[in-house]
Amino acid sequence: MLPARLKTTFSRFFGYQHLSAEEIEYRTLALTIIVLITLLDFTYNLAYFLFGQPFTWWTTVIYLIATLVNLAYFKLKGHFRFFRNTQLVLTIALPLAAQITHGGFVGSSGVVLAAFLAPLGALMFAGIHTSRLTFFCYLFTLFAAGIWEYVAGSNPNNLPPEIHLLFFEFNFAFIATVAYFLMEGFLKNKASMLALIREEHQVANSLLLNIFPDETARELKERGRVAAKSYQQATVLFTDFVGFSAFARTLTAEELVEQIDFYFGAFDDIMTRYCLEKIKTIGDSYMCVGGIPAYTDNHAHDMVRAALEIRQFVVNHRDNKMSQYNYPFDIRIGIHTGPVVAGVVGSTKMAFDIWGESVNIASRIEQAGEPDMINISEATHALIRHEFDCVYRGRFPAKHIGEVDMYYVSGERSERVRSEK
């Protein structure tokens, strides 16, 4: 981790402070390494100059001028990719030139090995493709330096052997230090990317679970598709706001969406508490199901309890003069229990849905109900009648279905009343 002040200074001077923290870290690390290489080159050639090797200065001057021009271009244009690639070329070329002018491999204290920092830097800052290309350029540089020394011969300098040894150690120490920090940065980058992938994976899973039931989402991830399944018994609920369409004409589009979102958001919370599956909303109608995809013995009971909470929520806000959502909404609720088929449809914007006569019956029962009443079928009543007080309404016609026995749910019985029954 680079010092915060260094990152702030470099990012402000070169104008990349608006980038992500990770990108600022990378660019500052690259600039820091370039500065260190420049200082090392200056110190290295100064020592050779002091020991009577004046010709060695031209490599430092050329590298320094090229680096300053590159830095100026980066500051003016902000083209980090061009700046990075130019410095990679210079990092390979400089050690080769230094070996030629400093008396060969031994006379230059193995400085050509420093060119290995180029493919390492490319791996960190430019990716595998550029790094691989840079590595081959590095190998070519080594062979070129060796061939040059073999053909032209070395030009021994006047440095004492102990200075050569010191420079060897210094060169290797510098190469090892930069290589270490490059690899450390690479590993941090890898860890950061893995953390980002895990985070995005969690977000994707959350979104998937927000759209599909757990079992369906798991099958979709494992197989890439979801097979339709038949369920012998499930409980389906429909709700509808009475007279909503007429009232909606008095609201702005923003107010309308806000109202729907407020109520349906509360319905979602209620469904989650009772482990029921929201299927969809159509206009001001809300549809959900219990008992699928994971079967539970109490799906009918849980659905009726959820319906009671929904009704109470709507009534409370309608009657609360202090609430900003006290619009005069009445709600109808219809519930039916029976067989359904469930599956995922669509190749884009896929949706989990249910089909079957039970769905149609639940919809008709909701339409046959009255405002603020929970209307249930005989099939649902047979499952919950010992736990809830219900009033038989009689047989009512349901469109395209025929006559259906219907009941109103008054409320849930207390434990004492249940035991007496």
| 50 & 198 share domain | yes
| 84 & 222 share domain | no
| 120 & 203 share domain | yes
| 196 & 221 share domain | no
pLDDT per residue over 315-342, tens digit each? 888 776 656 655 667 899 999 999 999 8
| Averaged pLDDT score across all residues of the chain | 82
Mean pLDDT of 144-155: 74
Q: How many domains does the chain have?
A: 2
| 312 & 338 share domain | yes
pLDDT per residue over 187-223, tens digit each? 777 777 777 777 777 776 776 666 666 667 666 666 6
**Which amino acid type is present at position 369?**
G
Calpha distance 177→167 (Å, rounded):
15
Residue 89 in tokens: 């070329």
Predicted model pTM? 0.56
Q: Which domain holds residue 328?
A: 215-420
| 68 & 167 share domain | yes
Evaluate if residue 83 carries a pLDDT over 80.
Answer: yes
Residue closest to 408 by CA, chosen among 296, 332, 315: 332
Length of the chain: 421
Residue 294 in tokens: 């994971």
Evaluate if residue 359 carries a pLDDT over 90.
Answer: yes
Calpha distance 205→320 (Å, rounded):
38
pLDDT score of 416? 45
Mean pLDDT of 249-265: 86
pLDDT score of 387? 92
pLDDT per residue over 2-14, tens digit each? 678 888 888 888 8
Q: How confident is the model at residue 1 (pLDDT cuts 50, 70, 90)?
A: low
The residue among 172, 207, 242 that closes a domain is 207
Cα angle 372, 374, 375; round to 5 = 125
Cβ 383 vs Cβ 337: under 8 Å: yes
Residue closest to 294 by CA, chosen among 282, 302, 305: 302
Cβ 302 vs Cβ 288: under 8 Å: no
Cβ 236 vs Cβ 289: under 8 Å: yes
Mean pLDDT of 344-366: 86
Calpha distance 274→102 (Å, rounded):
80
Evaluate if residue 56 carries a pLDDT over 90.
Answer: no
**Which amino acid type is present at position 342?**
A
pLDDT score of 361? 93
| 203 & 223 share domain | no
DSSP secondary structure letter of residue 336: E
Most confident of 37-51, 242-256, 399-413: 399-413
The residue among 207, 239, 261 that closes a domain is 207
| 131 & 263 share domain | no
- CATH number, domain of 236, equals 3.30.70.1230
Q: How confident is the model at residue 58 (pLDDT cuts 50, 70, 90)?
A: confident
| 203 & 219 share domain | no
Residue 319 in tokens: 């009657």
Calpha distance 240→282 (Å, rounded):
10
Question: Could you tell me which residue, 81 or 345, shows the higher pLDDT?
Answer: 81
Most confident of 105-109, 125-129, 361-365: 361-365
**What is the b/e burial string over 230-263, where b = at least 16 CB atoms within 10 angstroms of the residue's CB?**
ebebbbbbbbbbbebeebbeeeeeeebeebbeeb
Calpha distance 170→43 (Å, rounded):
11
The residue among 207, 238, 266 that closes a domain is 207
Ranges 32-36, 123-127, 148-152: which has the least confidence: 148-152
Cβ 391 vs Cβ 410: under 8 Å: yes
| 193 & 109 share domain | yes
Evaluate if residue 363 carries a pLDDT over 90.
Answer: yes
| 220 & 194 share domain | no
| 241 & 180 share domain | no
pLDDT score of 55? 60
Helices (H) and strands (E) in the chain, counts: 15, 8
